[in-house]
């Protein structure tokens, strides 16, 4: 169970990451594909709701739903620093989005009808950034398989006394 502080860091990481991906889609995409990738409009069309409701869905997903998925699926199962695990999570979100969600929303497989490869790569940049930010703010160190003990704790029988210097 995560503490309240950890949960707050998770939500803040999700919010900051969502602000980043939103900025990329609305302000970065026009320089690359000539128009913004309107996430709220896509979600509104997908769910049959207003543009404002699409914005709310986008921010709720990015701030609460995806960070919960990060904790449940990736955070402790991958090795490496938190930003790497977050980046891998962002890549997985992007892959799922482009291969499954975008076709259902009418934008085609890997955004074929929404700007093609450039739109898909812009989305990749945004989602990698989202994941890296989430990992940096909310991530915890990965389990490394090493035994960590306080100096005052007695050595357990299964712990080796000495490591061989030549072993890799």
Q: pLDDT by residue for the chain (168 residues), tens digit each?
A: 567 888 899 999 999 999 999 998 888 878 877 777 788 888 888 889 999 999 999 999 999 999 998 888 877 787 788 899 999 999 999 999 888 887 877 777 887 777 678 878 888 888 999 999 999 998 775 544 444 445 566 656 565 555 555 554
| Tokens representing residue 166 in the block | 């030549």
Global pTM value: 0.74
Contact 51, 44 (CB under 8 A): yes
Q: What is the CA radius of gyration of the chain?
A: 20
Three-state SS for 51? helix
Provide the angle, in degrees to the nearest 10, between the axes of the packed helices 4-23 and 66-73.
120
């Amino acid at each position: 169970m995560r503490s309240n502080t950890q949960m707050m860091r998770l939500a803040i990481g999700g919010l900051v990451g969502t602000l980043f991906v939103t900025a990329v889609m609305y302000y970065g995409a026009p320089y690359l594909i000539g128009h913004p990738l309107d996430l709220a409009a896509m979600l509104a069309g997908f769910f049959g709701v207003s543009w404002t409701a699409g914005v709310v869905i986008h921010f709720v997903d990015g701030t609460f739903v995806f960070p919960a998925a990060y904790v449940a699926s990736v955070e402790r199962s991958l090795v490496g620093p938190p930003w790497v695990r977050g980046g891998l999570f962002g890549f997985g979100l992007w892959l799922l989005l482009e291969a499954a969600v975008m076709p259902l929303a009418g934008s085609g497989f890997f955004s074929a009808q929404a700007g093609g490869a450039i739109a898909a790569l812009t989305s990749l940049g945004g989602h990698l950034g989202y994941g890296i930010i989430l990992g940096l703010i909310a991530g915890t160190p990965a389990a490394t398989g090493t035994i960590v003990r306080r100096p005052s704790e007695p050595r357990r029988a299964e712990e080796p006394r000495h490591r061989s210097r030549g072993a890799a």
